[in-house]
Structure 1
C-alpha cells in the first residue's frame, strides 16, 4: 500500500510540474491617453482564458494555449481592440492603448445659452409641456412659463420674449423650423397680447437665450424652437370649459396608424369675470375672441412624414381710460383683429441623409380706433389699420458623419408685405430676405465637441448682404460637470413700423459671448451662465406726427447710429429627487444693460430691463389622491421709466424715475377625478389657479400728458385673478401619464 501511495504522489507531482511548465503568463497594461483604464476585459479569442484590468490598468493571466492567438480587449466605453500574439515557451508582455467609444448617449452636449425640453434621448428636459401647464401664474402659455427661467424679463405691458436686455421683437419663434409671424394676439397699448398657439400642440421646445444655431436668423437676442406633435397615440375627443372660455376638438387616428386628422374651435369672453373681480382696466367691450384650427399628419410608404397645421382667430376689445388732457374726460380705444397661420412640413431619410422642408404663411390684421367720448358721439375717430402678409420657406439637408458628428446646410426665404394706414397717412413695406447657411457638429470624443456654422442673408429692402459666423464648444470636466462656450454674430432688419420715410438703413447687429458651467445628474440640474452682448447699428427714431390725443405717436427711423451692451450672470437649480413627489426650481438673473437706440437721447438702461430677477417654482403631487398643488413666485427690481419727447428735431427726457419692485405669488391646484367606470377611456383635469394671491399692486410704466405735467400708471388689467376650468378627453386615458409627469 505504501508503495502504491508513493507512486500516486509521485505521478501527481510530475503532472503538476508538467502543467506548470506548459502554462505561459500573459501580462501588460491598458491605457487611454497614457492613463491606466480599469475594468477592461482581456481574453484569448475562442477560449476561456483571460483577466480584467485593475484600477491602474494592469492585468495578467496564465494560459496553456500555444501558437498564433488573438488577444481581445473590450470595455463598454472604448473601441474593441484585437492583437495578434505568438505564444511560445516564454511569458509575454502586451501593452495596449485603446480609443474611446464614441456614443450618442455618452457624448457631451453643447448647451451654452440653450435649454432643451423634448422627447429626444439627449434632451435636458428643463421645461416640458406638462411643466408649462402646471406652473402657477403661467396660464398654460409657453411665453409666460419661460419668464420663470433665467434670462427672460418679466414685462407685462406688451407681448414678446424680452431676453437678456433685448426688446420683445428681438426674439423669434419657430414651429417645426418655420418662422411664426405674429405669434401673439392683437392687443391695445398697455395690455400684452396672449399666445395664439395651444401648448398641447407641441411635444417639446428648445429655448435659446443666445448663441443659437446658424439655421436661424433675424433675431438679435434669442429664439424659441417649437416642435409639434406627430401622430396621436389614439383617437380622442376633448372639451375645455371655464367661466371665460369654451372649446372642443377631436383627433382621429387611422386603423393602420399611418395618418391622422383633427380640428378644434373655441370662444373666449372675459365679461363674466369682470362682474366678479375689481378690474383696473375699464373694458367697454370684451375682451373676446374666436379661434379654430385643423391639422393632418401622415407617413408615406417610403418613410417620409407630412405635417400640416392651420388656424384662424379673431380679437375684439374696447378700453376706456381717464384722460390726461383737460379738454375731455375720457379716452377710448377699440380693437378689431384677425389672423390666420398655416404650416406645412415634410421630413424624409435617404440613407445617411435627412431632408427637412417647411413652409408657412400668415396674414394678420389689426384695426385700432382711438377717440374721446366727445368724438365718439360726433365722429372723426382716429384709425390705425395694419395689414400684413408673411411667407416663409426653408429647407435643410443633413448628413451624419458618424454617431455624434453631422453636416447640415440649406436656404431660407422670408417675404413680408405690410400696409399701414393712419388717418391720411399710408405706408407700404415689402422685403424679401434670402438666407443660406451651413453648420457642422463635430464630436471629437465623448468629452469634447464643437458646433461651427455660418449664415448669410440678403435683404431686398435694405439692399444689403451680411455674413454671420457662429461657433460653440463643450467639454466634460467630470462625470456630471460640463463647460460650454458660445460665440455668434447676429443680424436683424430694423422694425418695419419705424420705416415711415425714405432713409438709408443697414442691418442691426449683436455679438454674443456666453460661458456656462452645468452639472446634470438624475433628478437634479444646476446651470451657471455668464454672458456679454454688444449691440451695433441699432435704429434711432424721432416722432414725426401725433395721430391721436391718446394714441402713440408715429415714429420714423432716421439712422443706424445706435449701440449698446448687456452683460450678466444667471443661476438655475432644479431638483426632483431630494423630496419625494416634490419638484422645484430656483432661477436668478443679474442684468446690466444700457442702450442708445430708438428715441433715447443718449445711452440709458432700457425701460424693459430689470437689474435683479428671481423666480421660484414648486410642485407637489399626491399620487394616491390624484391631486397636485403648484406654487410660483417672482421678484424683479423696479425698472426705469422715461418720458421722452421730440422737440426741434431732438429727443429729450422730460420725466424719469424707477418703478416699484415687481412681485407676484401664485397658486394653482389640479385634480384628476375618475369619470365613469374605472376602466373607461377618459381623462379629466380640474384646475383652480390664483394669480398674484397677495394682491401686489404692480406697475408696468406710466403714460404722460402732452405737456408732461400729468401721468397715469400702466397696470395689469386685474391685480388678483382666479381661474377655474375643466378639461375632459374621451377615448384616451392620460391619467397615469399626468401622474408620472408630475412626480
Structure 2
C-alpha cells in the first residue's frame, strides 16, 4: 500500500510538473486605423517568447510562462505599448491598436508650389550647385538653370524670374533670409543682365513658384531662397581662366576649424569673343567689368554661427543699332554700372528657441546714355541716371513643438532710397516697409500636416497697411504619393520707376491657389501641379516724353485699376535611376494668362507669357573617359508682341502679332583630368559649352519707330555662343564630389 501511495504521489507530482511546462498559445492582430500592421515585434517582456506580425498584422506564438506577464508591441514607426495579461492554461487572443509615432523623416512635407534643393531639406533635391554647373545652357547661373523647371518662362531680352504669368520684378531673391536688391547686373534695353552672385556661394536653394511662406513678402509671383555655404572642409585656392574672364579666390580655414575667411577677384571682357563670333549686336564697348568679394564665417563656442559676405562689381557696355528714324544712321546706348552688396547673418539656439537674424545693405547705380549718329557724328545725347540705397533687417524666432510641428515669428524692415533723373524729370523716392509675421507647422500625423501663416506690412510711402494670410495642407495618399494644396494672399509695392508723387497708389495684390500631386522614390520624382492666380490693383501707366526724344520716354503710374489672372498646369519628371550614369528630367508648362496693367489699353495676353513651354535636360557621366556630357533643349510657343503708344492721353495698340516659336538645343562637356588620383592636392575641370548648337535664329520682340512705319527685331547678342574654360582648386580635391553628383 505504501509503495502504491508513493507511486501515486510521484505520478501526481510528475503530471503537475509537466503541466507547469505546458505550452499556451498567444495570438492576435495588431492594427492602426483598422488596418493590419506588418513587421511588429510582439514579445513577452523579459523572455525569449514572441513573434513578428505577418502582412495582415496577425501574430501567434507559444509560451510556457504562467501568471501575470507583460506583452510588448514595438515598431519603428509606432509608439511602443505594453499590455498586462494573465497566462493560465487556456490559449489567449490579444489584439492591439497602435498609435503612429510622429517622425521628422517619415512625415509628409508641404511642398505645393515649391522646389527644394538643400542638404537640410527632406524634399527631393532638384537643383544643387553641381546641377546648375552641369546644366547645358545655364552658363553656371542659378536663374538660367531655373528656366529649365516648370513654371518659369524663357524671356531672353530682360533679366528676372518670370514665374507663372508674372513679370520679372514680381519674383524676389533672398540670401540667408535677407532680401537681395539688384540680384542681376545693370543692363541695356534688349540685353538681359546676368547673375551677380557666384553659384558656388550657395549650398542649397528653395524655389517657390507660388504659395510661399509668410516669412517672405513683397513678391506677387515667386520667391527664391538661397542658403550660403558654411565652413569649408579645408583651406583651398581656386583659379579660373577662359577667353572671356579671369578670376581667382581663396578660402582659409583656421586650425581649430571653427572659423574661416576668404576673398575673390575677377575680370571679364567679351571683346575677344566678339572678334571670333558673328555677333548680332554691334558692341562699340564690349561687355566688361570687375568684380570681387570677401567673406568670413565664425562658429561660436555656444553653437552660434556668424556669416558675412560682401561683394562689389562694375560693368560697362556700349551698343550701336541701326536707327529706326530716317534722319539718323544709328542709335547708341552706353552703360556704366556700379553695385555693392553686404550680408551679415547670425544663428543661435537658446534652449528650445532658435534665433535667426540677418541684415543686408546694397547700393546700385545705373548710368545710361542715349545718343544718335549721323555721318559718324554723335548728337542728341541724353542720360538716365538711377541711384539706389537699400537696407534690410530681419529677425525670426523659431520654436519646435514636437518633431514635426513648430511655431515661428518675427519682423522685417526694408528701407529703400532711390533717385531717378531723366531729362527734366527728377524723382526722389523713399520708403520704409515694416513687416511682422507668424507661422506654424502643424504635424497631425506622418500622413497629414499643415502650414498656417499670416504677414502684415506697412509702407511709409504709400501710407497703407496690408494683412496677408497663407495656408497649406499636405496629405500622404500612399507610400510614395503625396498631395498638397496651398492658398495665399500676396502684396507688392509699385515699382519706384513708375511712381508719380501726385498719384494716390496702393499695394498691388495677387491670390494663389495651388494643387499638387507628387510621387518621390529613390532616384525618381514625378510632380503635377495645377494653379490659379488672380491679380488685383495692378499699376496702370501712361507715357511721358520730357524732351521729345524717344529714348527718354518713361512711364508714370496714375492708378491701381489694373487686374489680371494666370492659370495653368505643370508636369515635372526626373529620373536618376533607370539608366546607368544618366540623370535626366523633363518639364512641361501650360499657361493661360491675361492682364490689363501698365500701358495696356485693355486686357491682353502679356508679352512675356508663352502658352506652352517644354524643357528637357540630360546628363551622362562616363568614368572611363573622365567626362560628363550634358544636353538641354527648350521649346516655347511664340509670345505676343505689341506696339503700344499714347495718343490723346489714351493708350492704343498701333500694331501687334506673335513671335516665332523659341527653340534652343545646348551642349556642354566637362572633363576631370584628376580622376583616380587618390592623393591629389588639386582639382581641375575643363569646360566646353555650346549654347544654341543648331544656330536657331530666335526673336525676343520688336522695336518700332516713332511713327510705327519701321521696326527691328530684338534678338540675342549672338545666335550660337561657345565657352571654353578651366577651373583649378588647390589644396582640396573635389573630384569625388563632382563624380558622385553626376552619377
TM-score (normalised: structure 2) = 0.97
Alignment-derived partner of residue 472 in structure 1 = 472
Deviations 1:652-678 (A, max 9, x none): 000100000000001000001139976
User: For 1:59, what is the secondary structure of its paired residue?
Assistant: strand
Shift of 1:14: 5.6
State the match for 1:642 in structure 2.
642
Q: Deviations over 1:284-306 (max 9, x none)?
A: 00210100100000101111000
Deviation of 1:95 after TM superposition, in Å, equals 2.1
Counterparts in 2 of 1:396 and 1:254: CA distance versus 1, 3 Å: same
**What CA deviation, in whole Å up to 9, does each residue of 1:454-486 have, x standing for no partner?**
111011111111111101111111111111111
Residue 148 of structure 1, CA deviation: 0.2
Query: Which residue of structure 1 aligns with residue 275 of structure 2?
Result: 275
Contact 1:382–1:547 under 8 Å retained in 2 = no
What is the rounded CA distance, in whole Å, between the counterparts of 1:77 and 1:315 in structure 2?
A: 56
RMSD over aligned CA atoms reads 1.8
CA shift in 2, pair 1:376/1:394, >3 Å: farther
Structure 1's unaligned 5+ residue stretches are 1-6
1:263-317 C-alpha deviation (Å, 9 max, x unpaired): 0000000000000000000000021010010000010111100000000000100
User: Is residue 116 of structure 1 aligned with residue 128 of structure 2?
Assistant: no
Give the conservation status (yes or no) of the 8 Å contact 1:371–1:548: no
1:589-600 pair list within 5 angstroms: 589-600=589-600
Shift of 1:65: 2.3
Does structure 2 retain, via aligned residues, the 8 Å contact 1:370–1:548? no
Partner of 1:455: 455
> Is 1:219 aligned to 2:219, yes or no?
yes
Q: Which moved more, 1:38-47 or 1:60-69?
A: 60-69
The answer (yes or no) to whether the contact 1:414–1:434 under 8 Å persists in 2 is: yes
2:4 corresponding residue in structure 1: none
C-alpha displacement of 1:256? 0.5
Match of residue 372 from structure 1: 372
Per the TM alignment, residue 364 of structure 1 is displaced from its structure 2 partner at its CA by 0.2
Superimposed CA distance per residue, residues 5-33 of structure 1 (whole angstroms, 9 cap, x where no aligned partner): xx9xx989966982477443333221111
Give the deviation of 1:546 after TM superposition: 4.9
Q: 1:660 to 1:552 in 2, by over 3 A?
A: farther
Alpha-carbon offset, residue 47 of structure 1: 0.9
Question: SS of the residue aligned with 2:279?
Answer: coil
Measured after TM superposition, the shift of residue 381 of structure 1 is 1.7
Aligned to 1:4: none
Larger displacement relative to structure 2 (118-127 or 226-235): 118-127
1:738 matched to 2:711? The reply is: no
| 1:55 alignment partner in structure 2 | 55
Aligned pairs (5 A) from 1:182-197: 182-197=182-197
Matched-pair contact (CA < 8 Å) for 1:383–1:422: yes
Matched-pair contact (CA < 8 Å) for 1:382–1:548? no
Cα distance, 1:332 vs structure 2: 0.6
Cα drift, residue 94 of structure 1: 2.4
The answer for the alignment partner of 1:41 in structure 2 is 41
Counterparts in 2 of 1:434-445, with a 5 A limit? 434-445=434-445
Change beyond 3 A, Cα 1:284–1:538: same
How is 1:652-691 mapped onto 2 (pairs within 5 angstroms)?
Answer: 652-674=652-674, 679-691=679-691
| Alpha-carbon distance, 1:132 to partner | 0.4
For 2:704 and 2:547, how far apart are their aligned partners in 1? Answer: 16
Between the aligned partners of 2:671 and 2:138, the Cα distance in structure 1 is 18
Q: Is the 8 A contact 1:563 1:595 kept in 2?
A: yes
What is the alpha-carbon distance in structure 2 between the residues aligned to residue 267 and residue 485 of structure 1? 46
Q: Deviations over 1:344-380 (max 9, x none)?
A: 0000111221110010000000000001125995665
The answer to whether the Cα contact below 8 Å between 2:675 and 2:735 also exists between their aligned partners in 1 is no
- Greater shift, 670-679 or 61-70, is seen at 670-679
CA distance in 2, matches of 1:37, 1:19: 34
State the SS of the aligned residue for 1:275.
helix
CA distance in 2, matches of 1:13, 1:134: 82
Residue 206 of structure 2 corresponds to residue 201 of structure 1: no
- Report the Cα distance in structure 1 between the residues aligned to 2:327 and 2:546, rounded to whole angstroms: 17
Secondary structure of the equivalent of 1:274? helix
Higher mean displacement: 237-246 or 40-49: 40-49
Q: Note the 1:400-415 alignment, pairs <5 A.
A: 400-415=400-415
Determine the structure 2 residue equivalent to 1:69.
69
1:742 counterpart SS class = coil
- How many Å apart are 1:500 and its aligned residue? 2.8
Give the Å deviation of 1:628.
0.7
Please list the CA deviations of residues 559-612 of structure 1 after superposition, one character each: whole Å capped at 9, or x if unmatched.
000100000010111111111001111100000000000000000000000000
Q: CA deviation at 1:82?
A: 1.3
1:240 aligns with 2:240: yes
Q: Deviations over 1:144-174 (max 9, x none)?
A: 0000000000000000000000000000000
In 1, Cα distance between the equivalents of 2:338 and 2:729?
29
| 1:297 aligned partner | 297
Aligned to 1:132: 132
Give the distance between the partners of 2:112 and 2:375, measured in 1 at CA: 54
Is contact 1:664-1:696 (8 Å) kept? yes
Query: How far, CA to CA, are the matches of 2:16 and 2:268 in structure 1?
Result: 92
1:378-417 mapped onto 2 (5 Å cutoff): 381-417=381-417
Mapped contact 1:422–1:547 kept (Cα < 8 A): no
Give the match for residue 3 of structure 2.
none
8 Å CA contact 2:412–2:436 kept in 1: the answer is yes
Distance 2:13 2:599 in 1: 102
Q: 2:167 corresponds to which residue?
A: 167
Matched with 2:711 is 711
How far off is 1:544 after superposition?
Answer: 1.8
Q: Say if 1:113 and 1:210, in contact at 8 Å, map to a contact too.
A: yes
CA–CA distance in 2 between the matches of 1:553 and 1:500? 15
Distance change (3 Å), C-alpha of 1:532 and 1:564: same
Q: Is the alpha carbon distance of 1:210 and 1:701 closer, same or farther for their aligned partners in structure 2, counting shifts above 3 Å?
A: same
* CA-to-aligned-CA distance 1:530-563 (integer Å, 9 cap, x gap): 0000000000000122557452521110100010
Change in 2 beyond 3 A, CA 1:260/1:499: same
Tell me the residue number matched to 1:618: 618
The match for 2:602 is 602
Give distance in 1, aligned partners of 2:433 and 2:719: 43
Q: Following the alignment from structure 2 to structure 1, what is the Cα–Cα distance between the partners of residues 212 and 188?
A: 32
Q: Is the 8 A contact 1:339 1:363 kept in 2?
A: yes
Give distance in 1, aligned partners of 2:420 and 2:547: 13
**Aligned runs of 1:301-320 on 2, under 5 Å?**
301-320=301-320
Higher alpha-carbon deviation: 122-131 or 354-363? 122-131
> Bigger CA drift: 615-624 or 47-56?
47-56
- Partner residue of 1:3? none
Shift of 1:69: 2.0
1:578 aligns with 2:573: no
Change (3 A) 1:544 1:376: farther
SS across alignment from 1:373: strand
**CA distance in 2: counterparts of 1:83 and 1:631, whole angstroms:** 60
Asked if 1 retains the 8 angstrom alpha-carbon contact of 2:307 and 2:344, the reply is yes
